[in-house]
Amino acid sequence: MPSFEGLPIQCKAAVAWAPNQPLKVEIITVAPPKANEVRLKIFANALCHTDLYTLSGQDPEGKFPCILGHEAAGIVESIGPDVTSVKVGDKVIPCYTPECRALSCVFCQSPKTNLCPAIRGTQGQGLMPDGTTRFSLNGEPIYHFMGCSTFSEYTVVAEISCAKVRDDAPLDKICLFGCGVSTGLGAAWKTCNIESGATVAVFGLGAVGLAVIQASKSRGASKIFAIDMNSAKFESAKQLGATDCINPTELPPGTTIQQHIVSLTKWGVDYSFDATGNVQVMRAALECAHRGWGQSCVIGVAPAGHEISTRPFQLITGRQWKGTAFGGFKSRTEVPQLVERYMSGDLPIEHFITDELEGIEKINDAIDIMHHGKCLRA
């Protein structure tokens, strides 16, 4: 890999110029990293629904023009001053949830959360921690996205967003740990910490929902309900451990999905997960949770302005509503552990890759495939 240390790089990037418009491949300039920053050469990307959500214009933090992409893997091309945790040549998964590890950060020091706020203020504005961008085109700035912006041949990220992984890990596989798969696994393993024999309901059978099913199966769940309006997804769900597949549109008239699941379990499931981002589905997931102790985890991101609701009685009678971001994983510490499990054969993930395309010029094709509902990850 050629060295451009201290110099700007010109490279291809897929730029989102406006909501609901195709991405346009441009030759942009990527500035060298500043203090506590790392410049990466991106070798593998996976397209996530969050990218599509922001491109749709529904994301209140969506800034245009920007470079999307946040589920990727690459190699460190150069580092800025004061960077100590990675070096040139290291393989890295950039993570949208950073981990500063500062003793003064109550979030990093707590085992209860992974929500480090160290760079949250600028990241949400599409900027690097110093309030500027590292991308430009003809001298005009282009915004960052989720602190990652991986739909570019090169990108600059904060050091605290870099999860260093082992040198022999295949980048085209482990990029999946940058978002969706990790989120689903962690929702089951960390956020809810489901136990052997538990009953589970998963709403939404994209990559995140299927990862919840895989994680639930690995924990020894006795019953796993897979719920989706697209019955074509049921075969994949069954292969990963679903015991029952339900299409809500095929229920008898007047029967809600939560009523149906409760009728099959008497009191509801021990754990339910929403991986749709639909607030009505979030309510259904809560209301099919077990009376007295059922936990319902919100994973999907709802459009701006949407609110969840239920009768307070649902909570008074013991159900718990919780949410998760990146599955609760502390990125720099725990993503490398997921990679280790994958490399040992304990955590297969290849089944999430349903389509493969080569070259940044294919990004709009990947988006079209994802929109058709038959793709998990491209």
Catalytic residues: 48-50, 70-71, 100, 105, 108, 116, 120, 179, 377
Taking Cα atoms as reference points, which of 135, 136, 156, 138 lies closest to residue 147?
Answer: 156
CB 353 within 8 A of CB 173: yes
Residues 296/273, Cβ–Cβ less than 8 Å: yes
What phi and psi values does residue 229 have, to the nearest 5 degrees? Answer: -80, -10
Show the tokens assigned to 232: 């074509």
Helix, coil or strand: residue 355: coil
Q: Cβ contacts of residue 1 below 8 Å, gap of 6+?
A: 41, 75, 77, 89
Query: Are residues 152 and 23 in contact, defined by beta-carbon separation less than 8 angstroms?
Result: no
Let me know: does 54 contact 40? Beta carbons within 8 Å. Answer: no
Ranges assigned E (strand) in 61-189: 66-67, 72-79, 91-94, 135-137, 140-142, 154-158, 162-165
Q: The sheet that has 135-137: what strands, in order across it?
A: 66-67, 9-16, 24-30, 135-137, 140-142
Radius of gyration, alpha carbons of the chain:
21
